[in-house]
Amino acid sequence: MKKFLNSFKQIVGSQNMITDPFDLKPLNQDWQRFYQGKSELAVTPTSTKMVSEVLQFCNQNNIKVVPQGGNTSFVGGATPVQDELILSLKKMNNILEFDTTTSIVTAESGVILQSLNDYLQAYRYQMPWDLGARGSCQLGGNIATNAGGLNVVRNGPLRNYVMGLEVVLPNGKVLNLMNKNRKDNTGTDLKQLFIGSEGTLGIITQANVLCSPIPEQRQVFFLELNDFDEVIYLLRSAKQFEQLGAFELMEGRILKRCLPFNGQLKAPFEFKEDKYYVLIEICGQQIELEYYFERLLKHTEQIVFNQNESELQTMWRWRESVPENLHKMGHVLTYDLSIPPDKFEWFAEQVYYGRKGPYNAFYGHLGDGNIHYNIIFDSVEEMHKEQQRVEEKIITLTKNLYGSISAEHGVGQLKRHYMQVQKGKDTFKYMQTLKELFDPNNILNPEKLL
């Protein structure tokens, strides 16, 4: 890479280059600290034109490139595998406009999700998706991973809300797919190819996103349930609530283990190992608290609801602190799967029969059939020893349930080897053909996804 430094200096300027190993360290490592790249250079372009010139140069000189947003990927998607050039979008963080007639926001891809929400608040709007990494993840990273999160049960997937995109292709060509029409039936919707493509087909530089009004009221209920059948019975009822905003499940064994890490955070219950806990959010213009309370009380007497905004935040914090706490407990293998909701418990019992073996627990977005299944090991060696066996078992179980090995986190480096099994030979081949069409020299995010 050293021999190209001067050329990159001419394209982006030295103020938009990172070469100091100390500053490169966090960019070379993923959030979970599973993957470590060896990149010697990161560039931080400030315009689409710069991104285009960087890619054109890289394509001509066969320099591999990793697009990087907030680097919060759970699958090593934004971390170099070798010494690829890191192309960070963090300086392309302008919010260009919010159109109050169409409710569409137009922004550069490096804007942090939380900043978009802060900006939209003045209009009483919000982004249609939300996730725990909102303080670090970026618009482009969210779109490139078709991020899921906490609102999918209400709003459906992210891809439904992206109206337009600007994408720089690996050869430097700028593809203008920006669009503010909600309806556009003029043939194949090319932008959909880039949503969820994990930076393997092009670099997203701008987007138009349809926003949602901020609900006037939000009410959170936290319930304790005795067994998994009760959870599923509750899910079936809650699915009929027109104002259902979220349906999140946590095993008691996980919440109990979170206690020491959450310090002064007030627990809604005294958590018990063998119980299940469900967080239900209801949101809308006007909420009939009594109606929902009575309906939910039919399922359990162990129920609390928030009396004010601060209690609402505290209850959500219990759910949102789970992924970060898990990483404080040991060495974690975490799996993000789509399977039928009523199979979550059965699934966990199959991986480690009767839940024996290392500490394992699940939580997740039960409302959309998305389980986060975790196994915690005391040592890295132990984890590596088990990884292959566990993974093969999980893939087989998921496949047999017609599920998905990645519900929302993407494939990245972590699940790449299972893609052929997941997709089947024909689909996988067409995906490869598409990659070759857009990126014949394979410079963009190599050794990821495919």
Q: Which of 132, 284, 330, 358 binds ligand FAD (CB under 6 A)?
A: 132
Judged by DSSP in three states, 377 sits in strand
**Span of 65-73, 95-103, 264-272, 383-391 interacting with ligand FAD by CB under 6 A:** 65-73
Residue 67 in tokens: 């697009």
* Burial (0-12, 13-18, 19+ Cβ within 10 Å), 97: exposed
State which residue, 141 or 245, has the beta carbon closest to ligand FAD. Answer: 141
Q: What number of CA atoms fall less than 13 Å from residue 225's CA on the CB side?
A: 25
Give 413: exposed, middle or buried? Use CB within 10 Å, 0-12, 13-18, 19+.
buried
Residue 37 touches ligand FAD, criterion: CB under 6 A: no
CB of 289 to ligand FAD, least distance (A): 27
Q: Choose one: 8-16, 20-28, 137-145, 169-177; the region binding ligand FAD (CB under 6 A).
A: 137-145
Among 54, 127, 147, 339, binds ligand FAD (CB under 6 A): 147
Decide: is 80 part of the binding site for ligand FAD (CB under 6 A). Answer: no
Q: Least distance (Å) from ligand FAD to the CB of residue 307? A: 27
Rounded to a whole number of angstroms, the minimum distance from the CB of residue 290 to ligand FAD is 31
Choose among 446, 436, 424, 332: nearest CA to 379. Answer: 332
CB distance 268 to 304 below 8 Å: yes
Q: Beta-carbon neighbour count of residue 401 at 10 Å?
A: 16
SS3 371: strand
Residue 168 — φ and ψ, nearest 5°?
A: -100, 125
CA dist 167 and 91 (Å) reads 16
Residues 317-356, interacting with ligand FAD (CB under 6 A)? 323-324
Q: For residues 396-415, which are near ligand FAD according to CB under 6 A?
A: 408-410, 412
CA distance 419 to 401: 16
Report the distance separating Cα 240 and Cα 219, nearest Å: 16
Read off φ and ψ for residue 373, nearest 5 degrees: -105, 130
Select from 12-20, 57-65, 135-143, 292-300 the region that touches ligand FAD (CB under 6 A). 135-143
Find the shortest distance in angstroms from Cβ 379 to ligand FAD: 23
- Provide the mask over 99-118, with x wherever binding to ligand FAD is found by CB under 6 A and - wherever it is not: ----------x---------
CB of 320 to ligand FAD, least distance (A): 7
- 56: its two tokens: 């054109």
Window contacting ligand FAD (CB under 6 A); options: 57-65, 66-74, 284-292, 385-393: 66-74
Nearest to ligand FAD of 142, 338 (CB atom): 142
> Residue 148 or 252: which CB sits closer to ligand FAD?
148
Residues at the contact surface with ligand FAD, assessed by CB under 6 A: 31, 66-74, 77-78, 89, 109, 131-133, 137-138, 140-142, 144-145, 147-149, 198-199, 203-204, 323-324, 408-410, 412, 445, 448
